[in-house]
Amino acid sequence: MTPTIRAAAVRAFGIAVATLMAVGASGCTGPAPDPSGTDFVTPAPPDGAESDDSARPDADGTTTGDGETTSADVAFIATMVEHHEQAVELAELAPGRVADPELADLAGLIAVTQAAEAESMRGWLERRRSADDAAAGHEHAESMAGEISRSTIDRAAELEGGAFDRLFVSAMIPHHRGALLMSEARLAESGDPAVARWARAIATSQALEIDRLLEIEARLPAG
Amino acid sequence: MRAGRAASRARSATACLVALGVAAVLLAPPALAASAEREPSIGPGLEWVAHRDNPFRQGDDADFINSDLAFTGDYLVQGNYAGFSIWDIADPAAPELVSAVSCPGGQGDISTVGDLVLISIDETMSDDSCEAARVPETTENWEGLRVFDISDPRAPRYAAAVRTRCGGHTHTVVPDPASADRVFVYMNAYSRGASLNCTGRNPLQIMEVPLAAPEDAAIVGELDLFDDETAFGPEDRVPGGAETRSTTGCHDITAYPAKGLAVAACRGDGLLLSIADPLAPVVLQRVRDPAVTFWHSGIFDNDATRIVFQDELGDGFINTCSPAFGADRGADAVWLIQPDGLVKAGTYKLPRAQSDLEKCVAHSGGLVPVPGRFIIAQAWLEGGVSVVDLTDPAAPVELTWFDRPDYGYSMDYTAGIWSVYHYDGYLYASDMYEGLEVLRLTDPVFADAARYDDTGLNPQTQPAYSWVWRAAPVVPTAAAERAPLETLSVEPAAIEPTDAAEVTVSLPPGSLTPGETADVWWMPTQAVLATAAAGADGSLAATTVALPGPLEPGRYDIVVRGDASAPRIALASVVVASSSPQHAPDAAETRATGGSAWWLLVLLPFGVALAYHAAIAWRRRRRVAR
């Protein structure tokens, strides 16, 4: 692009932006944005506030609070992808093998939900790795609690009926407890608050599933 | 609230189209390509009225996303993970940002009570100030409820901060039936395990907020909503302390104070509560449903005979609106409130499959007040807004929708529309990244919903909608009861019998609620002759109405009744008399013009008959002569 053309393009862009701003200011119906320069208000704390400066950004911009993505974030997500994949692999064995109808339903839910979450987390990792090649999460790989071993998967593939159900529950409950452990380990560290929220969400959903697995386990016929 | 709002809308819309066209041509290739491709799909009978950007937005940073909405008068308050925005929506087509208050902490669930804004925080912050940073929950931290005074909406004052055990993921305002000077606030939160303050079961903490002295807000009650006392033994937590039970607290509560009921969505459980005594809620029933993963929220129908629950399967981080999840997983569930308890009666799932680049799950919404129907508007994150008729729970019908396509990539975390609510004739949708969308339902079925004049709304504190204008007023017959109601001026008050007449009615200032919609009723036929808006001073400007004829002699009532001031009425009588001395000249004049025609009608047949007989007589005489 020659400098002249580029200058013309920049000018055209400027006109377009100015036009859009005028449209926004005139209270346009439809999709025009309102570009008013926002003045943010930061109210002073109420009387008797529990102020604590220690975690606020210091003059040099450093902070002890949460902020950017940390290696703890990357390690948590990377490990959780693998952890989810194990649950999906076991849950996908359920059709044709599982006996308890509610467990069949729950296995289907675990398979589809954790596969979608793992896909989301893989995308998250890829975006960070392409943005920063140095962010190799495996350097900080965490121990994976509640791992479903290869031999457990192989054994499940050989079972059906009540025996499959019992193996499924006895493997999935510790697996989900492991996810809780991993989540709370992340929550005890600093990092991107959005990853903390994700860790909470994972802990929540897996705790709810543990609750249901325990209910099912309590009524499964003994082998 | 809506008088004279839309006057210049059509004109400015044309200007906008032209200007947008110019801008689009200039911008399309490089900068706007993405947003042009993200034009929403809009269903039938839905008009996209306005859009405003999220003033806090920092690209795709999840710490600046919008959350829930609350309404007070002409103001809309929008929660954000970084604070809150106050919008002036006096003209819904042109929301104006009044102020953006920077005060970080998710998820910024928001309510308004008079001049107060309540915002709940369930992220662990370094302290309660608006300059606090997020800190791990295993360190010293603050979370709870912040109270702001927005009597000057351009400069909100931080009035109080009340720490609660687990913060407030959401909160619910419950009025005190005994006093308008204070409200109660249910703090809805659940524990998250290895936290410094928030482990085990989180009881429902109830706060009192004195409206005149918000700085005295404090926890006044605490209640365990679950009866599984045996839960939370050592085996119910992992070594670090995180609970593996479902019953650690509630995600959201919707109160319906007029019915003394509330519905609590508590992770793995749905609860129906009696809140006849708001300080001592009673669990009427607790239900579980294998088809529901995460009880997120609930909405009553206006009669409180039905509830629709939302299931936030996957917590907003995935797309559950796909063939892989199907129509049953992550579906809304409608339950009937029967004498013997809650009975599930049907489910509804967003019918439009979403791309796996989108996050889609049932989220927050509210009732669209259509009489006799159970219609809700609900957010489905990147699945957009869905307006659905649940009147027959076994066969829900989506009426319309608003749905943007994906971003062209998958957002890292949750994204899309957090909540949507009907307020004063419009739908307001809070989009986490994009901002605020204003929509209008144009189908005539929504006429009564549009007419309903809201003066404020916390969507989780459901009002009892009444459509007073749909039933004719009742006028007392006893003179002593009528006398104080006869405030309506009518001109002329006395008329002659006629086929049609016009009269002009008016009311002095202070007669009506300022701005309310009022009907002029003709009581003989129980018909509405005119509908007008009360003035800002509560007057009714001179309104001329045509009285349906024929008007026989008698005394007839005209009534003016405002939607908000109902059941109060203003009454006047029109007297139809065959003759009245004081109006003699007018009456004579009327007779002179109208009378001649009348005589003509009588004379003409008479004349014809006379001529006929004359002709016969003449012919007879001729025959005799021959």
Same structural domain, B567 and B599: no
Residues 68-97 of A with CB under 8 A from B: none
Categorize the per-residue pLDDT at A36 as very low, low, confident or very high, splitting at 50, 70 and 90: low
CA distance B28 to B34: 9
- Nearest CB neighbour to A28, from listed B16, B106, B193: B16
Q: Indicate if B145 and B101 belong to the same structural domain.
A: yes
- Put simply, the answer to whether B51 touches A33 (Cβ < 8 Å) is yes
More confident residue, B18 or A213: A213
Same domain for B570 and B603? no
Cis peptide before B95 (omega within 30 of 0): no
Same domain, B516 and B393: no
User: B585: buried, middle or exposed (CB in 10 Å: 19+, 13-18, 0-12)?
Assistant: exposed
Burial A187-212 (b: 16+ CB within 10 A, else e): bbbbbbbbbbbbbbbbbbbbbbbbbb
Measured between beta carbons, the chain A residues lying within 8 angstroms of B63 are 193-194
Does one domain contain both B599 and B460? Answer: no
- B14-47: buried (b, 16+ CB within 10 Å) or exposed (e) per residue? eebeebbeebeebbeeeebeeeeeeebebbeebe
**Partner residue facing A193 (CB), from B63, B192, B329:** B63
Q: Do B100 and A19 make contact, defined as CB atoms within 8 angstroms?
A: no
Residues B82, B208, single domain; the answer is yes
pLDDT over 50 (residue A70): yes
Torsion of CA A124, A125, A130, A134, to 10 degrees: 140
Q: Which residue has the tokens 């579906």?
A: B331
CATH number at residue B522: 2.60.40.10
Averages of pLDDT over each 10 residues, chain B, 626 residues:
40 42 40 61 98 96 97 97 98 97 97 97 96 93 97 96 96 97 97 84 96 97 86 83 89 98 96 97 95 96 98 96 96 96 97 96 98 98 98 98 96 97 97 98 97 95 96 95 96 92 97 96 96 97 94 96 96 86 44 48 63 70 56
- At which of B466, B489, B520 does a domain end? B466
Range of the domain at B1: 1-37
Beta bridge partners of B575: B494, B555
Residues B297, B316 within the same domain? yes
**B436: nearest CA in chain A?**
A33
The three state secondary structure string of chain A is CCHHHHHHHHHHHHHHHHHHHHHHHCCCCECCCCCCCCCEECCCCCCCCCCCHHHCCCCCCCCCCCCCCCHHHHHHHHHHHHHHHHHHHHHCCCCCCCCCHHHHHHHHHHHHHHHHHHHHHHHHHHHHHHHCCCCCHHHHCCCCCCCCCHHHHHHHHHCCCHHHHHHHHHHHHHHHHHHHHHHHHHHCCCCCHHHHHHHHHHHHHHHHHHHHHHHHHHHCCCC
B187 three-state secondary structure: strand
Across the interface, do B317 and A52 touch by the CB < 8 Å criterion?
no
pLDDT of residue A57 exceeding 70? no
Look at residue B503 in the predicted model and tell me its pLDDT.
Answer: 97
Interface touch B53/A189, C-beta < 8 Å:
no
**Kindly report the CA angle at B298 between B292 and B300, in degrees rounded to 5?**
130
Highest mean pLDDT among A51-60, A142-151, B388-397: B388-397
Q: Give the chain B residue nearest A173 (alpha carbons).
A: B244
pLDDT at B199: 87
Task: Check CB contact under 8 Å for B294 and A204.
Answer: yes
A-chain CB neighbours of B22 within 8 Å are 16, 19
Residue B68 and residue B196 in one domain:
yes
The CATH number of the domain where B46 resides is what?
2.130.10.10
Whether residue A19 contacts residue B26, with contact meaning beta carbons closer than 8 Å, is answered with: yes
Cβ <8 Å between A211 and B245: yes
Nearest to B133 among A33, A57, A102 (CB): A57
Tell me the domains of chain A and their CATH numbers.
71-219 (1.20.1260.10)
Task: Express each pLDDT in A94-127 by its tens digit.
Answer: 999 999 999 999 999 999 999 999 999 999 999 8
Same domain? B569 vs B593: no
Mark whether B44 and B181 lie in a shared domain: yes
Q: Around Cβ B188, how many Cβ atoms within 10 Å?
A: 28
Q: What is the pLDDT of residue A137?
A: 45
Do B219 and B157 lie in one domain? The reply is yes
User: What is d(CA A44, CA B158) in angstroms, rounded to the nearest whole number?
Assistant: 6
* Bridge partners, B343 (sequence order): B336
The C-alpha atoms of residue B204 and residue B224 are separated, in whole angstroms, by 6
pLDDT of residue A101: 96
Q: What is the pLDDT at residue B152?
A: 96
Together in a domain, B199 and B259: yes
SS3 state at B598: helix
Relative orientation angle of helices A3-25 and B9-27, to the nearest 10 degrees: 160
Quick check: A123 and B316 CB within 8 A?
no
Number of domains in chain B: 4
Does A196 lie at the interface with B, CB-CB under 8 angstroms?
yes
Residues B41, B403: contact at Cβ < 8 Å? yes
User: B89, B76 in Cβ contact below 8 A?
Assistant: yes
Listing from the earlier edge strand, what are the strands of the sheet with B75-80? A40-41, B96-102, B83-88, B75-80, B66-72, B456-457
SS3 sequence, B84-103?
EEEEECCCCCCCEEEEEEEC
> Is A52–B48 a contact, with Cβ atoms under 8 angstroms apart?
no
